[in-house]
Every structure is written in structure tokens, then in C-alpha cells.
Amino acid sequence: MIKIETCLTPEILHLHQLEGKIAVVTDVLRATSCMVAGLNAGVKSVIPVKKVEEALTYAAKGYVTAGERGGVKVEEFTIGNSPYEHMEEAYHGKSICMTTTNGTVAIDAARKSADQVVIGALLNVSSIGRYIKEQQKDVIIICAGWKGNPSLEDTLFAGALVDQLKEEVEITDDATYMALSQYQSAKNNLSEVIQNHASHAKRLSGLKAQNDLAFCATEDYCDVLPILNGDEIT
């Protein structure tokens, strides 16, 4: 049976073993939702980097750059961190170098030891579920959280994924059970729960990014399965 565990914040990733596992990294608001939505719309690949300076070296080579710090677009970047920007036609067929406060940090932490890094969001949760069933390999869900704290929306993604897999997995930690229970109580009004209770939703509303909230809370908007291959997510 597939074993599944959840790391609610990268701060405690050192307590988990990643070797031999598929790491599903999520940052529902909004990094991984942008990646999923962009790739689904036609973006060629996403290159996640940890630092703004690194992204600027890609900008100098002519790459599209995207991301934020504190939710606000980095001034020198082409676009910020709204999934609607990532879906724009201008970026179809292009590679986007991206850095964000938490999402790309979590990806960077995961890639160091996991066998494979898969990018998850509520937007593509069923694609991830199907892939895990096919692979029959142990899984760790890594939630990006916010600056070291767990976040409700990422925990709900973890629960949504486990809910799909519950007949086929063995839950090996309390965090996964907590995520599943949280999702099962919220699943009929996921968008409202996120918008009304997630601290990052409140932060984003203050930044006039309300339109992103309902979109990122949409389960199964698309069918893409973004996987990190070398430096690129395709």
C-alpha cells in the first residue's frame, strides 16, 4: 500500500524523509496555482528559483520573469503572481523563470532529496491523484505555508488529495489525518472557507487580488501534471 504523509510547512521538512518518495509541492495561494494554470494555458515551462537575483540573471538572457515578494510583483519582473497573468497569450510557448516568497522555496527544499517533485494545486488535484495511483510509490505532500507557518489553503489541498486516495493509501502521520478531516468538513464550500478564514486570503484581498482567490480554490479546473525535470517544470 502507498504510504502518504504531509509536511504542513517547509520549516519542519527536516523531520521527514524524502528519499524514495514522490514529493507533491503545493502553494495554493498562489505560486503552484500560477504554474498549473500557466502550463495548462500553453506556457512551455517554469523555471523555479529561490532568489530574485537568480531570476534577474534569467531576465538578462531574455526569459520572462514572474513572481512576488510579500504578494507584490517584483518591480523588474515581467509579471507578478496572479494566475490570470500566467495564462496570458503573450506567454504561451515561453519559459517563465519564477521566484516567490514560499512556493519556490518549498520546491527548492523538495528537489534536494525527493525522487520526483510534482506540482499540485486544487486546480489539478485529480490529475495528481491519478498519477499517484499509477506510480504506486510513497508520497509526501509538502505545503509551502506562509513564512514558516502552515496555511489553511495548502492544508485543504493536502486533504483533497488524500480524500481521492484514501482507499489506496496508508496515512502515516497526524498531519495527513488533520488535513483530510479539514477538507472533508470544508469541501462543499471550499472557496468560502478559504476566502473567509485563510490569513493569506485576507492579505491578498488587501493587495486587491480577490479575483485570484476563487480561481485558486477551484478543484479540477484542468488536467495538467507538472513535474520538475532538471531545472524546469513541464
**Residue 40, interface with ligand 3SL (CB under 6 A)?**
no
Q: Which three cell numbers stand for residue 137?
A: 510509490
- Percent of residues in the chain assigned helix, strand, coil, to nearest 5: 45, 20, 30
Q: How many CB atoms lie within 10 A of CB 18?
A: 20
- Listed ranges 13-21, 27-35, 84-92, 181-189: which one lies at the site for ligand 3SL (CB under 6 A): 27-35
Shortest Å, Cβ 60 to ligand 3SL: 23
Strand duo 22-26 + 2-7: pairing: unpaired
Report residue 170 as a C-alpha cell: 496508508
Asked if 27 is part of the footprint of ligand 3SL (rule: CB under 6 A), the reply reads yes
Is 10 near ligand 3SL (CB under 6 A)? no
Taking the complex as a whole, the smallest distance from the CB of residue 200 to ligand 3SL amounts, in Å, to 6
Give one DSSP letter per residue of 123-152, joined into a string: GGHHHHHHHHHHH---EEEEE--BTTB--H
Is 81 an interacting residue with respect to ligand 3SL (CB under 6 A)? Answer: yes
Nearer to ligand 3SL, 40 or 81 (CB): 81
**Member of 31, 37, 107, 190 binding ligand 3SL (CB under 6 A):** 31
Q: How buried is 52 (Cβ within 10 angstroms: 0-12 exposed, 13-18 middle, 19+ buried)?
A: middle
Number of H helices, E strands in the chain: 10, 11
Binder of ligand 3SL out of 103, 129, 150, 159 (CB under 6 A): 103
- Residues from 143 through 202 that contact ligand 3SL (CB under 6 A): 144
30 binds ligand 3SL (CB under 6 A): yes
Closest CA to 204 of 217, 189, 187, 220: 217
Determine if 85 is a binding residue for ligand 3SL (CB under 6 A).
no
CB of 144 to ligand 3SL, least distance (A): 6
Separation of alpha carbons 146 and 50, rounded Å: 15
- The binding track of 203-222 with respect to ligand 3SL, each residue x by CB under 6 A or -, is -x------------------
102 is a site residue for ligand 3SL (CB under 6 A):
yes
Among 9, 78, 100, 176, binds ligand 3SL (CB under 6 A): 100
Q: Which three cell numbers stand for residue 3?
A: 504510504
Binding positions for ligand 3SL, rule: CB under 6 A:
27, 29-31, 68, 71, 81, 100-103, 144, 204
